[in-house]
Amino acid sequence: MDPKTFIKKFTKSIQEGNAAVFAGAGTSVEAGFVNWKELVRPFSQEVKLDIEKETDLIGLTQYYINSKSGNRGGVNQEIVNQFSSQEAETRVINLLTRLPISTYWTTNYDKVIEKGLQINNRRGDIKRKIDDLAISMPDSDAVVYKMHGDVDSPQNAVISKDDYERYSDKNALFVTALRGDLVSKTFLFVGFSFEDPNLESILGKVNILLGDNKREHYCIQKQVSEEDYVGESEEYQYAKIKQNLKIKDLQRYGIETVLVGEYNEIPTLIEKIENEDRKSVV
């Protein structure tokens, strides 16, 4: 989708009170947090697998837990070690939490969204576990759904094959809430690779139920660049083909892709949304 069209459409959703944000791991990298691959790298080393050859990181984490006779203490400790900072922030999240949006979803364990709301003098109602869904924070400005858990409760974090297989039963209310928001709100997905099985399953169910009557959603992705594959023309062509196929596939779920040349263009894009919103208000 053309960025100018996206800016106008998403700004309209904000002004109508229907906008939501889904923040993936990519939004926390600037804060110094590891991505999923680096998080599970120590586990791969212990089970003697090469992380560079593995694509099933959920399964890899399960192998590690299996090697400890089902004890996930090492996984819990690694989550705490990597995501405990209460002060970490990123420009992208600070901008997104400055927008007049009242619904944020994330699969991240860190506190970057909470910090962004705090910086912008907004009070967040944080939903870290099922019990939180039954309680409403008075005078809150935004609800933050941490559907895969939080660093403060690493034992409940969704990270292994067991966790994903049990998710629809243990966290059924999160599934219901996200389905409802996908039906009634317009989402902006940022820093998300769309490789998460839970989200893919939920998007699939909404797609089946609504067919061609889905809401339009948006995601921002970095365009595959030849500069990232210097001397590897075949790999570049492969990555380009795969990205185009993925963009087309996301349209099945009503998700239109906005491409940027570099990651540092994302904050500028969000600032343009903010400016468009202010201009319309004036």
Helix (H, G, I), strand (E, B) or coil at 136: coil
Describe the strand order of the beta sheet including 217-222 as a list of residue ranges: 124-127, 142-146, 103-106, 19-23, 186-190, 217-222, 255-260
Task: DSSP for 165-224, please give it.
Answer: HHHHHHTHHHHHHHHHHHHHSEEEEES--S--HHHHHHHHHHHHHHGGGPPPEEEEEEPP
How many C-beta neighbours within 10 Å does residue 107 have? 20
Name the helix (H) or strand (E) containing 7: helix 3-15
**Closest residue by Cα to residue 12 from 277, 282, 189:** 277
- Please name which of 224, 221, 202 lies closest in space to residue 263, comparing C-alpha atoms: 221
Burial of 77 from C-beta contacts in 10 A (0-12 / 13-18 / 19+) = exposed
258: Cα separation from own chain's centroid: 16
Q: Is the Cβ–Cβ distance between 64 and 146 less than 8 Å?
A: no
Tokens of 128: 């870290």
Whether 148 sits among the annotated catalytic residues: the reply is yes
- Measured at the CA of 240, the angle between CA 234 and CA 246, to 5 degrees, comes to 135
Question: Which residue among the candidates 72, 148, 185, 214 is catalytic per the annotation?
Answer: 148
- Residues annotated catalytic, as ranges: 148
